[in-house]
Every structure is written in C-alpha cells, then in structure tokens.
C-alpha cells in the first residue's frame, strides 16, 4: 500500500520555513504530488525520502521521524 507525506509534515519535522519546503517542491527533480485532499498535496513518501537524502536535506534520523507523519 502506498504511503504519502505532506509538505506540512516535512516542514515541521525538518524545522524548515514553509517557503523553503515550497521551493524544494518546485524543483524539477522533486517528486510530483500523487494525490490531493482538499488543498493538501500528498507526495510519495519513499521518493521524497530519496530526494531529501540525495540533496543532503535530511539524514536517517530525520527520515525516521518523518515516517511517523506518513498518510496511508
């Protein structure tokens, strides 16, 4: 079953400003949203974790913390 993560979860766990996370999601290689619930976009969690690690935005501990915020 796919797991999703929101921009808000990334922002809170990584303690980044909302515009920083917005900028990341506008990057051409950032995973595209898979679904939307109202005005909240859901991103494929695994793809986001890979992007964060590849760009040195999050370490293993941060990604473990993000897993608690996943949406099914």
| CATH number of the 4-67 domain | 1.10.10
Q: Which two tokens stand for residue 24?
A: 């990341």
pLDDT digits (tens, 9 = 90+) for 14-25: 999 999 999 999
Q: How confident is the model at residue 1 (pLDDT cuts 50, 70, 90)?
A: confident
Using one digit for the tens of pLDDT, what is the confidence trace for 50-66? 999 999 999 999 999 99
Judge whether residue 41 has pLDDT over 90.
yes
**Strand 4-5 and strand 40-44: pairing?**
antiparallel
Q: Look at residue 35 in the predicted model and tell me its pLDDT.
A: 95
Name the token pair of 5. 């993560």
Domains in the chain: boundaries: 4-67
Residues 6+ apart with CB under 8 A from 9: 66, 69, 70
Percent of the chain with pLDDT over 90: 96
pLDDT of residue 10: 98
């Amino acid at each position: 079953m796919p797991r999703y993560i929101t921009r808000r979860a990334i922002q809170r766990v990584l303690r980044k400003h909302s515009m920083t996370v917005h900028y990341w999601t506008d990057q051409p290689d950032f995973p595209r949203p898979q679904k939307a619930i109202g005005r909240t976009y859901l991103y494929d969690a695994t793809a986001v974790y890979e992007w964060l690690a590849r760009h040195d935005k999050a370490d293993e501990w941060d990604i473990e913390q993000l897993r608690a915020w996943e949406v099914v």
